[in-house]
Amino acid sequence: MALEPLAPETRNYIDGKLVDASNGGHFENVNPATEEVIGVCADGTKDDMLSAVAAARRAFDESDWANDHALRARCLRQLYEGMLEEKEQLRSIVVAEAGACASLTGFMHIDDPIEMMSYWADLANHYTYEQRMTDVPFMGQPQGRILRREPTGVVGAITPWNVPVYLNIAKIGPALASGCTLVLKPAPDTPWSATHLGKIAAEKTDLPPGVLNIVASSDHLTGEILSTDPRVDVVTFTGSTATGRRIMECAAGTVKKIFLELGGKSANVVLDDADLAGPLGMGAMCCVHGGQGCAITTRLLLPRSRYEEGVAILENAFKTWSYGDPTDPANLQGPQISKRQQERVLSYIEKGKQEGARLLVGGGVPKHLPKGYFVEPTLFVDVDPDSTIAQEEIFGPVLCVIPFDDDDDAVRIANNSIYGLSGAIHSGSEERALAVARRIRSGTLSVNGAMWFHVDTPFGGYKQSGLGRENGEMGFEEYLETKVIGVKSTA
């Protein structure tokens, strides 16, 4: 696929201006498929973050942003149009810095998030912010009540590197549409997926200064200011459960509203009446984007009665799966994001072997890819559902196959997790599959390969996969406060 040459914005966006770091510092951006330094980014300091928070506070308290939904709709539509104009540059950025396969950028990496911005622009204008409730009697007199929804205030948004443009837009879109102002702290591995949005905002929109601020930094703790500073009202975080716990602790000091999209270890349950060739022939799809997706189903539950038949199909699917160079349109799996992540995945593979799982395919660094942080598509079978690789999020191209006895056993194993983000069920009977889906404790489920993801669909997790929901009106309402005004008629 022909990609546009890289020309990313490398400055932060604070109080309406594109700025270098206050101390002039930069950090390197590395392409995980080639290990080459592809450029630098302004290394935001704690002072930069404090300036961004001050700007967001001022914009919320002193500009018309919170009250003028027509202004918000106009600016978000400009942002949408600006992203459309910069679509090919955003595509090049996400392939180069996130190792995203170019063939996947037509969906969740680039095309979907751009279209999402159009949804948020429309919702800003058409949402019912105020309505009259039915009168109720009080001491013999009818009492009127007005129900109002108002923006909560300043939002601190912290995002990871795996689907960076999407994840940044999934915060910016609803928060700004609701009338909040926002400071975004992206992951240091993928800074341009955020700073380039700052350039679009600065050059192609009428966003008032301070409404949107983007502070990239090599220091994770620059983001911690967003969970402690009293001027921030909401923290919206996507990332690991460990960091989510830390953010909850920090936010408790000022009782912030928090909204967490965390890890997952989702189960794909294939019932004994399913057509195995379909779901298992596609079994290596869990390696898509190097397995670096929170909602990917990384535990595959197979009925004992058809176990060997299923494992044979999976083995073939893993051995014939195409992966490598993310710019090659044949590939759906590129590298892990960094050396550190590659080593982390390999250490989980070692742990799986030590704990007795049977390694059937892969398990190492591919010999034909000497450069880049690649890991072979890896298939473990006979996995103990309580073992480390069945319990912890690996975030790599590793599938754990677990046998089960009957539907009750499958539900028990699927729910045997601290996570509850997603999952899938395959069966010849929709009714039977739905009965299992209703018993699995997770935020999204797919029956027979159906896709649930869409901008209007609430997404989020049960248990330690998170708090709150992203996308759709429910996601928008996460950024709104509720006010009720009682009104007695003076007539």
The site for ligand NAD (CB under 6 A) is made up of 158-162, 185-188, 220-221, 223-224, 227, 238-240, 243, 246-247, 261-264, 294, 393, 395, 421, 461, 466
Nearest residue to ligand NAD on Cβ basis: 239
CA 267, CA 41: separation in Å to the nearest integer?
38
- Token couple for 241: 């459960």
Shorter beta-carbon distance to ligand NAD: residue 169 or 433:
169
Taking the complex as a whole, the smallest distance from the CB of residue 390 to ligand NAD amounts, in Å, to: 16
Helices (H), 320-454: 339-354, 388-391, 407-414, 430-439
Strand 398-404 to 297-303 pairing: parallel
Shorter beta-carbon distance to ligand NAD: residue 390 or 410:
390
Select from 207, 200, 262 the least CA-distant residue to 462: 262
CA 135, CA 142: separation in Å to the nearest integer?
6
Q: Is 294 a catalytic residue?
A: yes
Taking the complex as a whole, the smallest distance from the CB of residue 47 to ligand NAD amounts, in Å, to: 17
Taking the complex as a whole, the smallest distance from the CB of residue 344 to ligand NAD amounts, in Å, to: 9
CA 36, CA 311: separation in Å to the nearest integer?
38
Shorter beta-carbon distance to ligand NAD: residue 99 or 239:
239
Taking the complex as a whole, the smallest distance from the CB of residue 239 to ligand NAD amounts, in Å, to: 3
Q: Which of 250, 286, 287, 294 is catalytic?
A: 294
Taking the complex as a whole, the smallest distance from the CB of residue 40 to ligand NAD amounts, in Å, to: 17
Select from 389, 380, 434, 385 the least CA-distant residue to 407: 434
Counting DSSP H helices and E strands in the chain, the numbers are 15, 22
Q: Which residues pair with 150 in a beta bridge?
A: 481
Shorter beta-carbon distance to ligand NAD: residue 11 or 185:
185
Q: Which of 9, 97, 261, 393 is catalytic?
A: 261
Select from 170, 83, 84, 71 the least CA-distant residue to 125: 71
CA 243, CA 221: separation in Å to the nearest integer?
11
Taking the complex as a whole, the smallest distance from the CB of residue 116 to ligand NAD amounts, in Å, to: 14
Helices (H), 63-183: 69-85, 87-98, 111-126, 164-178
DSSP secondary structure letter of residue 182: E
Shorter beta-carbon distance to ligand NAD: residue 47 or 85:
47
Q: Which residues contact 370 (CB under 8 A, 6 or more apart)?
A: none
Q: Which residues pair with 28 in a beta bridge?
A: 40
Taking the complex as a whole, the smallest distance from the CB of residue 188 to ligand NAD amounts, in Å, to: 6
Select from 199, 204, 212, 211 the least CA-distant residue to 78: 204
Shorter beta-carbon distance to ligand NAD: residue 160 or 279:
160
Q: Phi and psi at residue 71, in whole multiples of 5°?
A: -60, -40
Shorter beta-carbon distance to ligand NAD: residue 294 or 345:
294
Chain position carrying tokens 């911005």: 117
Shorter beta-carbon distance to ligand NAD: residue 145 or 344:
344
- Token couple for 204: 């192609």
CB 424 within 8 Å of CB 446 = yes
Q: Is 393 a catalytic residue?
A: no
Instruction: Identify the burial level of 161 via C-beta atoms within 10 angstroms of its C-beta, where 0-12 means exposed, 13-18 middle and 19 or more buried.
Output: buried
59-62 long-range contacts (CB < 8 A, ≥24 apart) are: 59/181, 59/208, 59/209, 59/210, 59/211, 60/151, 60/153, 60/154, 60/180, 60/181, 60/210
Taking the complex as a whole, the smallest distance from the CB of residue 132 to ligand NAD amounts, in Å, to: 36
* Catalytic residue numbers, as ranges: 261, 294
